[in-house]
Amino acid sequence: MLGIVRQKMLGQSLLKIRPAISVLRSYSSAAKQMTVREALNSALDEEMSADPKVFLMGEEVGEYQGAYKISKGLLEKYGPERVLDTPITEAGFAGIGVGAAYYGLKPVVEFMTFNFSMQAIDHIINSAAKSNYMSAGQMSVPIVFRGPNGAAAGVGAQHSQCYASWYASCPGLKVLSPYSSEDARGLLKAAIRDPDPVVFLENELLYGESFPVSDEVLDSSFCLPIGKAKIERKGKDVTITAFSKMVGYALKAAEILEKEGIDAEVINLRSIRPLDRSTINASVRKTNRLITVEEGFPQHGVGAEIWFEFSL
């Protein structure tokens, strides 16, 4: 019988920690450093270069080179027909993006923050997510909705929400949330190539953080599978699952626990929907204990979905 341990057991330890960026990670021989911002920019650049159907649209993505400089240099390289500055009207340009995807193009729609995606949620949920099902599989909607998600520095409550569980609860959407530069680069490429609508949840506070990357990650053919988690740290006593910025907290918590003689395994979910249940199951069968970490609301979250599986 599995002994499930709630997150409260590490409450005091978690309160003491800060995001772990420079902790040991399970990357293959990685000597080079790349910021998450650079990883996203290079992924966009390479996919736009490889496929003329890919284009970027959103507020300030062109002339200003992106509110967070993710699209730096892309307007100059690909021109205003493929890097489109839009008015401040999320419902408008998200709808145009969905229509373009219907037509066979591959739009990447940037929200300045995912909080603003609430203005466009009808197009995301009722159009993009449901069209494949309602057309009996005849219509694909290859669109990516991307931008910063969750809390940032010095912003209000209406700019601080995590939308992982919101969008992951909707059939028809795939939801990805990268942590490292490897995640950002490989998952964004996978999202752009995917025939279904993908919600790509980044984190503003991670954009400037550097992570080691291998030559394999830097190769233009590099792509990560959707629906596959990554074990960032192997352990035998307790499983900790996390995604996005919370992976850093989980890794730091594992370091603290190690000093107390507890060997924690940290799983970077990467993909929220589909969820890599097999990797989580295998880990918990080994450790017999599970802790989930996320920055969303305490009720009906991603962690609740994971916990439910082990409560049956």
The two beta strands, 144-148 and 106-110, are parallel
CB of 248 closer than 8 Å to CB of 19: yes
Rounded distance, CA 199 to CA 275, Å? 14
In sequence order, what DSSP letters do the residues of 165-195 get, joined into one string? Answer: HHHHTSTT-EEE---SHHHHHHHHHHHHH-S
Residues 159, 216, 255, 258: which is the catalytic one? 159
Total Cβ atoms within 10 A of residue 231:
15
Residue 216 is among the residues annotated as catalytic for this protein: no
Bond before 274 cis per omega within 30 degrees: yes
Rounded distance, CA 66 to CA 239, Å? 37
Rounded distance, CA 200 to CA 187, Å? 9
Rounded distance, CA 264 to CA 242, Å? 13
C-alpha distance from residue 72 to each of 42, 66, 76, 180, 210 (Å): 10, 7, 9, 19, 17
Rounded distance, CA 149 to CA 77, Å? 28
Rounded distance, CA 310 to CA 290, Å? 9
Residues 47, 59, 90, 265: which is the catalytic one? 90
CB of 113 closer than 8 Å to CB of 147: yes
List helix spans (H) across 51-123.
Answer: 74-78, 90-103, 121-122
In sequence order, what DSSP letters do the residues of 105-148 get, joined into one string? Answer: -EEEEEPSSGGGGGGGHHIIIIIITTHHHHTTT------EEEEE
Residue 123 is among the residues annotated as catalytic for this protein: no
The residues annotated as belonging to the active site are 90, 159
